[in-house]
Copies of this chain bind each other. A is one copy, B any other.
Amino acid sequence: MAAPLFDRVALIGVGLIGSSLCHAMRRGKLAGHIAATARSAATRAKAAELGLVDSMHDEPGAAVEGADLVIVCAPVGAYAGIGAAMSGRLKRGAIVSDVGSVKQAVIRDLGPAMPDGVHLVPGHPVAGTEHSGPEAGFAELFDGRWCILTPPPGTDADAVERVVEFWRRCGSQVEIMEPGHHDIVLAITSHLPHLIAYTIVGTATDLEDSTQKEVVKFSAGGFRDFTRIAASDPVMWRDVFLNNREAVLEILGRFTEDLTALQRAIRWGEGEKLEEWFTRTRAIRRGIIDAKQA
C-alpha cells in the first residue's frame, strides 16, 4: 500500500470544512493519523463520537505536536490566538495551512507566529453549504470545486507543491493567487452575496408577524434562495466582514450605486434601461454553466 501523503495531519476546528476534510482525507488515504482540536468541548465530543479523527486534543498546542500538516479550520477572528497557542509546539519542517475566506488577514495574524523552518501556505477551498458543525461534513464537498492558495512571497516551493497535491487528492482544482487579489475577487463572489442575503432576510424579519408568515409561505418566488445563504455560520461571517473590510466596502459601494440607478429607473418608468440591464446579466450565467460551476 502506498504511504499516505502526510504522516500526521492536525485540524484546528472540525466544523463543516474541518469535518469534510476528515472524510476527504479518509477517502483519499491522505493522512496516517488525523489529530484535531475544537474550541468547544461539545464539538470535540461530537467529532470523536462520529469517528472523524484518530486523536482529539483539548487545545491547539497539543493537537499540532508532531504534525506534518496543520490546517486551521476556525473563524478567522480566532487565528491570532490559535497562532500563539501552537507556535512553540510546531515541528520543524511542518506546513501550516488554513481554509479561511479572507487571506491578507490570515497572513497578518498567523505569519508572525510561524517559527523558523515552518512553512505557511494559506488556502481557501471555495465550497460550502449552509450547514455548520462536525455532523455537516461529507467527503464530496470539495469535488470539482476550486481551492485557492495564497503563499506569501518566498514560501518554500516544495511546501506549496505538497499542499497543492493535498487539495487535488481532496477532489479540488487548485489556483495560486496573490492574497490581496484573492480578497477582492472573493469580496464580490462570496462576501457581498452573503451580506446582501443576510440583509434581505433581516429586512423580512422586521415585518409585522402576519406578513412574515406569508413571506415564509410564498418564499419559492426567489426569497428562499437568499434564506439558504443567510443560514450560514454567523461567527464565521462576522469575522469575514471584520477582516476584509476594505474590499467589501469598495464592492458594496459599486453595488449601491448600481442599485440606486435601477431604483431610479423603476421610479421613472424607464423600461428600456431595466430590460437592457436584465439582459446583459444572462451572459455571466452562461459562463458559469460553461465553467461547470453551476
Contacts and interface: CB of A to CB of B under 8 A. Distances in A.
B196 A196 contact: yes
A274 to B, nearest CB: 4
Interface of A: 77, 101, 126-128, 130, 145-146, 148, 175, 184-186, 188-190, 192-207, 211-212, 214-232, 234-235, 237-239, 241-242, 245, 248-249, 251-252, 254-256, 258-259, 262-263, 266-267, 269, 271, 274-275, 277-285, 287-288, 291, 293-294
B202 A185 contact: no
Determine chain A's interface SS by DSSP, over half rule.
Answer: helix
Q: How many copies does the complex hold?
A: 2
Given A205-B280, A266-B248, A287 B214 contact: no
B266 A249 contact: yes
A281 B193 contact: no
Given A186-B218, A205-B280, A222-B197, A227 B285 contact: yes
A225 B193 CA distance: 9
Contacts of A126: 218, 220-221
A251 B203 contact: yes
Contacts of A274: 234, 237-238, 241-242
A199 B255 contact: yes
